[in-house]
Amino acid sequence: MKSSILKIAFLAIIPFSFGFTLHAQDGIPSEFSVDGMKVILKPSIKEIISVRLFIKGGTANYPKALEGVEALALEMVTEGGTKNQTRTEFASALEKIGTSLASSSSLDYSEISLSCVKSFWDPSWKLFAEAITSPRFDEKEFSIIKGRVISQAKQAESNPDQYLQNRALQNAFGSRNYSKIPAGTVQSLENISLQQVVAHYNTILGKQNIFLVVVGNVTETDIKQKVAAAFATLGPGKIAKPEPSVEFTPAVNIEDRDIATNYIRGTMNAPGVNEKDGVPMMLAMNILRFRFFVELRTKRSLSYAPGAFYATAAIKNPYAVYYISTTDPKQSLQVMIDEINKVKNEGFSEKELKDMKETYLTNHFLGLETNDSQTMSLGLAEVAGDWRNTESFMTKVDHATIKDINDAFNKYSSSINWTYLGKEDAVSDADFKQPQMLPAAEKVLPNK
């Protein structure tokens, strides 16, 4: 059993979004309720069945002092055994039938997943349901799992990229929910007790706060029977209080560190994925990422992997990111700002949009070939508001115009919250400039 914490940056860089191609032989997704619990089902002819139990709220479900408590709880659920089976017995039962359980925690949700072959569907579901409804929560196993998670947190804190990501979110969001680290910190994890983990898990596991997504060769009747039997005793649970969106203010946060490579991350506001500007902003940031690659890596060799992306993992409080790791931060920042200003004043081109649409959709569909990826896609769309938005995604990409992406980019790209990790004497506050629009009389006509 392998459990992992979703890495926000990696999700955001990949053009992962809420939609997929329906195979001609596959069924149409549908929604139904079982004793007050929402279920989304998409029949498939594939022999692999994927199930995900989503828990809404994410970092809104716990205070700053308990960073990592939800991730730790789900690790215990998927790896700590059940009331009827020890950790070893449970792992052996899964291994015998080739079934896997995993969990992940992110900013706005957590999830527990099951992947199995059709021929072992019934025993796999039984183990999945038993883990969720009757976790063992053994003190000895908790100590082992907690020790491993703390070790992972130490590695993350020593990794400049991961550290930069966490610091940038803290700088941009202040005391808000997105400043919390889903995986936890060494300090927070060391202070979390098994009793706190159990209490937290019992709080979030309620029918109002969870929903199930199933993609596979199964029937609605079968799913209804299984869900009713497994989750009949669950209460309503506690729904996290929504938090108003935050508007970033221009800022420069420089953290001195004696390292060979300097790391820079700029965070700015972005539209919600289901808003009118959502898809155009995704396309705009992907085109800009290609421009950064050409200007910063190909032409000037300033960085191996410069980036610009819409953070699709940030569902409730969306943002976009500029990123670079470089030995020449001063020149790199100037090139990045020059490219941003060029877009703001001249706009993207029709050719760039046409090429990006083809690339974006191709990568998007390739990333959604498996049933596992489709349960994640449907689930993220539901967390964002409605799983049915998966069906309109391709249309939104196809219908996006050059005016749409230029307008979206101009609307959200005027205020950047910069975070720098590296040699302090290699930069100054003045290097971290804000994008500017030229007066109308000086602007080059856009959309050429």
**Main-chain phi, psi angles of 256, to 5 degrees:** -75, 130
Q: What is the pLDDT of residue 358?
A: 86
Let me know if the fold of 8-231 is the same as that of 251-442: yes
Q: Tell me the per-residue pLDDT of 77-102, one tens digit each, with 9 for 90 and over.
A: 999 999 999 999 999 999 999 999 99
- What is the C-alpha to C-alpha distance for residues 323 and 289, in angstroms, rounded to an integer? 9
For 8-231, CATH number out of 3.40.50.11900, 3.40.50.150, 1.20.1050.10, 3.30.830.10 equals 3.30.830.10
- What is the C-alpha to C-alpha distance for residues 37 and 346, in angstroms, rounded to an integer? 50
Q: Are 239 and 209 in contact (CB under 8 A)?
A: yes
In order of 121, 164, 287, 367, 388, the CA distances from 168 in angstroms are: 43, 6, 23, 28, 32
Q: Are 184 and 72 in contact (CB under 8 A)?
A: yes
Domain map (residue ranges) of the chain: 8-231, 251-442
Q: What is the pLDDT of residue 442?
A: 58
Q: What is the pLDDT of residue 247?
A: 86
356: left (phi over 0), alpha (psi -120 to 50) or beta: alpha
In order of 23, 102, 190, 225, the CA distances from 152 in angstroms are: 39, 16, 12, 39
Strands of 109-117's sheet in order across: 30-34, 37-43, 210-216, 48-56, 109-117, 100-105
- What is the C-alpha to C-alpha distance for residues 320 and 326, in angstroms, rounded to an integer? 20
Task: Classify domain 251-442 at the CATH topology level.
Answer: Cytochrome Bc1 Complex; Chain A, domain 1 (3.30.830)
Q: What is the pLDDT of residue 443?
A: 57
Length of the chain: 448
Which portions of the chain are predicted below pLDDT 50?
1-25, 445-448
**Main-chain phi, psi angles of 10, to 5 degrees:** -65, -40
Q: Are 372 and 16 in contact (CB under 8 A)?
A: no
- 3-class state of residue 114 by DSSP: strand
DSSP of 380-405: HHHHHT-GGGGGGHHHHHHH--HHHH
- What is the C-alpha to C-alpha distance for residues 170 and 388, in angstroms, rounded to an integer? 33
Q: Are 197 and 69 in contact (CB under 8 A)?
A: yes
Q: Tell me the per-residue pLDDT of 98-143, one tens digit each, with 9 for 90 and over.
A: 999 999 999 999 999 999 999 999 999 999 999 999 999 999 999 9
Q: Which amino acid is at 281?
A: M
Look-up of token digits 């300033």: 302
Q: What is the pLDDT of residue 143?
A: 97
Q: What angle do CA 19, 17, 164 make, to 5 degrees?
A: 165
Q: What is the pLDDT of residue 24?
A: 36
- What is the C-alpha to C-alpha distance for residues 384 and 371, in angstroms, rounded to an integer? 20
Q: What angle do CA 378, 70, 183 make, to 5 degrees?
A: 90
- Helices and strands, number each (H, E), in the chain: 15, 11
- What is the C-alpha to C-alpha distance for residues 39 and 144, in angstroms, rounded to an integer? 34
Q: What is the pLDDT of residue 242?
A: 78
**Main-chain phi, psi angles of 86, to 5 degrees:** -70, 170
- 3-class state of residue 130 by DSSP: helix
